[in-house]
Amino acid sequence: MKQTLLLISLTLSVIAQPVIEWEKTYGHGIGYQTSQSLDAGYIVTGGHGAFVMKIDEHGDSLWINYHGSVGLSIKPSYDNGYILTSSWQDFSFGFYYGENIMHKLTDIGDSLWNKQYSFPSWNAPIAWPLSDGSVITCTSDGSLIKIDSIGDILWISDLDEQASVSQLIKASDSTFMLSGEGFVMKIDTAGNEVWNHQFPITTGGQWTGGPSFVLPNPTGSYFFAGIHNNHIGIGEISPNQDTSWVHELAEIQLNTFFVGGPRPLSMELTLDGGFVLSYCDQQEVNDYRSVSHLIRYDRFGNILWTHETDVSEDVMINHVLALPDSTYIYSGAKMFQSQSQVYIMKTTMEVATSLDENDSPIHNFTLDQNYPNPFNPTTTISYLLPDQSTVKLTVFDIRGLEVMTLQDGAKPPGNYEVQWNGMDESGNPVSTGVYFARLQAGTLSQTVKMVYLR
């Protein structure tokens, strides 16, 4: 496939430091992933002991359960429970290997069932719960698998026997993005390939091993991150599957890559169509302590802010959770007296989105807090639009999934009031919980938090 590649050397047009709301450690272990729970708290998993820990919005631990050796990922299911993937792993040679297990958990972390599957190349960290109670997962050699609500296999789709898969992402249109060595593939809900974008793979030329992460952009394009010309690289695939641009970040020291050289660890889409990237480096000072780098991009690939942990803290960030209200939850590990502690940090920062030269600028538009709040059954959302523009007002749940589009179209200047009756797009009442109303006008957006009580 034709590739239009624009290689860009990054300059920081907007540099700022995010505000740390809180940071906490939680005893011996490593945090691998954090997800939003439906009650505005967070659920964390990692090693050791495949712990699952619930923390409130202030970072205080509410409960903790253990389900194996190492917890790799956790996702909220649609019945208020969770899907956990864990592994009994041996780190003798610096690589993961062992038995991978999927668990269905209740809302307080108790196990309803757990299944170990016989796929020799099952990539346990990749599992996505669906609204019907089933789960989509995949193997590292390119097979997509659907599992029912009690853990039994419904079907297996062999997409590419030669593939080496690193990530599976659920897109907003209910399709999936599969990425790995030399490719990014879009897949429909039945496990069929929609399209396949190929990357040239070399050890010293362009993409080494293909993209590690891929994210669907609401504009129809796709962001990705991986190793490019011995640097951490990010880029965008346009809607017609051409490579639009590539940015190169930190250079990788190949002789230390597998033991702590720079590498992308997490890439998370933000509600405004941008993304946040984390990568980790080890510095020779202080016995090769870890330094984590966090970079927030807008939807055009421009840097909005950066954050770097202090080398004296020896912190490794493994995962970033971007929330609809422009806050971020970072999970990882912090070394203390030669042992790792689970480390969680929350930051916030409101940054104006960059304007594209083809977009009409809108200044000082305002989205007011909904009233009443909390509400049942109806609330009013008000906003001020100083200039004519295309406006989209959307309700999202706490996981960032779209619930209802309230307005979408051109509006003249003026004050507007819109009511939401607590229904989703299908006319079904939503569950009690936290929701977000997001107003987008041109390239600018504002978000308010709403609480619905049934």
Q: What is the pLDDT along the chain (454 residues), one digit of tens a residue?
A: 334 344 433 333 444 567 889 999 998 888 989 988 877 789 999 887 789 999 998 999 999 999 877 788 898 888 889 999 887 655 544 444 556 789 999 999 999 999 887 665 555 557 888 888 899 988 777 788 899 999 999 998 887 655 677 778 887 667 888 877 777 788 888 888 888 877 665 444 566 656 677 887 766 788 888 877 777 888 888 777 676 778 887 776 544 433 445 667 788 888 777 888 888 776 554 455 677 888 888 877 888 888 888 766 778 888 888 887 778 899 988 877 678 899 999 988 654 444 344 444 445 678 899 999 889 889 999 998 888 888 899 998 876 778 899 999 888 888 899 999 999 888 888 888 888 898 888 767 788 888 888 7
Per-residue DSSP letter, 287: H
| Same domain for 231 and 328 | yes
Residue at a domain's end among 316, 348, 380: 348
Structural domain harbouring 442: 366-452
Residue at a domain's end among 295, 319, 348: 348
| Same domain for 296 and 385 | no
Residue 1 maps to a domain: no
Residue at a domain's end among 318, 348, 378: 348
Number of separate domains in the chain: 2
| Same domain for 415 and 389 | yes
pTM of the model: 0.75
Residue 34 maps to a domain: yes
Q: What is the pLDDT of residue 265?
A: 77
| Same domain for 339 and 441 | no
| Same domain for 384 and 336 | no
Q: Is the bond preceding residue 413 a cis peptide, omega within 30 degrees?
A: no
| Same domain for 33 and 111 | yes
- In 193-338, which ranges are E strands? 193-198, 207-216, 222-228, 231-237, 243-251, 263-269, 275-283, 289-297, 303-308, 315-322, 327-336
| Same domain for 383 and 319 | no
Write the single-letter amino acid at 144. Answer: L
Q: What is the pLDDT of residue 355?
A: 39
Spatial contact of 122 and 115, defined as CB atoms under 8 Å apart:
no
Residue 359 maps to a domain: no
Residue 274 maps to a domain: yes
Question: Distance between CA atoms of 434 and 337, rounded to whole angstroms?
Answer: 39
| Same domain for 399 and 319 | no
Residue 269 maps to a domain: yes
Q: What is the pLDDT of residue 93?
A: 46
| Same domain for 371 and 343 | no
Considering all CA atoms of the chain, what is the largest pairwise distance in Å, rounded to the nearest integer? 65
| Same domain for 379 and 339 | no
| Same domain for 384 and 295 | no
Comparing CA positions, the residue from 308, 333, 297 lying closest to residue 318 is: 333
Residue 354 maps to a domain: no
Comparing CA positions, the residue from 104, 112, 154, 107 lying closest to residue 129 is: 104
Q: What is the pLDDT of residue 104?
A: 95
| Same domain for 117 and 166 | yes
Question: Distance between CA atoms of 408 and 406, rounded to whole angstroms?
Answer: 7
Write the CATH number for 264: 2.130.10.10
Residue 353 maps to a domain: no
For the chain, the distance separating the N- and C-terminal CA atoms, rounded to the nearest angstrom, is 51
Question: Distance between CA atoms of 412 and 362, rounded to whole angstroms?
Answer: 12
Write the CATH number for 376: 2.60.40.4070
Residue 356 maps to a domain: no
Helices (H), 187-324: 285-288
